[in-house]
């Protein structure tokens, strides 16, 4: 199995590479369209800012490449947000794979960013096989995808939001499976089995 990680203007790629190595999987970190199309699976992770990340993708034609992928694709954190239609962060048009709006947390008294462990609920789809409602995963984010018909997991932090989305071959999680202990490892294994 070949696995590619999308190289773009976003940080925190190393922790994903290390998590995959712990599972015995080597991945190619690349922004080469041919390598991304040829991979059996693609991971689109990231920590960063939506508008600069989208600018990087558009300048290299990676926005079109990502939309056209037919193999399983997993977006993580900023990756989930960029898979949505639009982000309030920088008033950014995104990839539109999920027809969802990304909003900033605004509830009074809520610490932003949302950092730390929180629970998952309303799980569905193959990514969450063997994962239970109430399991904890690790989040670091100030923006969230609104509740949406493509939701595969929900979390509440002042408001309910899409902790995971799934449509066709596209999967996305707002949390960091690579930092979420055994539960995160199970989710990554489930993705690798798709």
Return the active site residues. Answer: 77, 176, 178
Say if residues 71 and 23 touch (Cβ distance below 8 Å).
Answer: no
d(CA 32, CA 39): 11
Q: Which two tokens stand for residue 51?
A: 């508008």
d(CA 178, CA 183): 9
- 3-state helix vs strand vs coil in the chain, percent to 5: 30, 35, 35
Query: Could you tell me where the beta strands, DSSP code E, fall in the chain?
Result: 3-6, 28-30, 41-44, 73-76, 84-87, 92-93, 98-104, 114-119, 136-141, 143-145, 151-157, 159-167, 170-173
Say if residues 124 and 90 touch (Cβ distance below 8 Å).
Answer: no
């Amino acid at each position: 199995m070949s696995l590619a990680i999308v190289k773009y203007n976003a940080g925190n790629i190393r922790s994903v590479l290390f998590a995959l190595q712990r599972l015995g999987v080597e991945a190619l970190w690349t922004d080469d369209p041919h390598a991304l199309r040829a991979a059996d699976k693609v991971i689109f992770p990231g920590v960063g800012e939506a508008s600069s990340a989208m600018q990087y993708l558009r300048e290299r034609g990676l926005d079109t490449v990502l939309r056209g992928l037919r193999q399983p694709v997993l977006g993580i954190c900023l990756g989930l947000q960029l898979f949505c239609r639009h982000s309030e962060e920088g008033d950014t048009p995104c990839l539109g794979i999920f027809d969802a709006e990304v909003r900033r947390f605004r509830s009074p008294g809520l610490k932003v960013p949302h950092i730390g462990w929180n629970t998952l609920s309303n799980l569905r789809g193959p990514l969450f096989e063997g994962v239970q409602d109430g399991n904890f995963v690790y989040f670091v984010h100030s923006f969230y995808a609104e509740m949406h018909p493509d939701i595969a997991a929900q979390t509440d932090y002042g408001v309910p939001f899409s902790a995971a989305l799934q449509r066709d071959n596209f999967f996305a999680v707002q949390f960091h499976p690579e930092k979420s202990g055994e539960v995160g490892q199970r989710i990554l294994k489930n993705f690798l089995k798709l």
